[in-house]
């Protein structure tokens, strides 16, 4: 729940993607988590959706948990780049050849 509140603060355009580019969403979230991790002033001004409290507070999200989550997300992105990206590129080439 805490990290869903965090995603509530991501720019809406970062959640949009063209058809066929849905994996881009993972990279956008990873980049947002990097921003939250690397910029304390940005992180300290993030509030829950109803503005009832800050996300990173004594009873809220912990930076160490976000760092771990983002590291795991990066591993997923890397794995997908290795396994899915070549398949996706071949599908895209086929799509353009048969238009």
Question: pLDDT of 19-78, one tens digit each?
Answer: 767 788 999 999 999 999 999 999 999 999 999 999 999 888 999 999 999 999 999 999
Question: Total structural domains in the chain?
Answer: 1
Distance CA 6, CA 57 (A): 12
What is the residue range of 31's domain?
2-97
What's residue 53's pLDDT? 92
The torsion of the CA quartet 95, 93, 73, 49, rounded to 10 degrees, works out to: -40
């Amino acid at each position: 729940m805490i990290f869903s509140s965090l995603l509530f603060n991501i720019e809406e355009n970062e959640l949009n993607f063209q058809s066929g580019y849905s994996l881009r969403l993972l990279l956008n979230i990873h980049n947002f988590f990097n921003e939250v991790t690397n910029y304390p002033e940005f992180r300290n001004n993030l509030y829950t959706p109803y503005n009832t409290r800050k996300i990173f507070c004594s009873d809220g999200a912990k930076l160490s948990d976000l760092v771990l989550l983002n590291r795991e997300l990066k591993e997923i992105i890397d794995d997908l780049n290795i396994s899915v990206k070549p398949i996706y590129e071949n599908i895209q080439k086929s799509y353009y050849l048969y238009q």
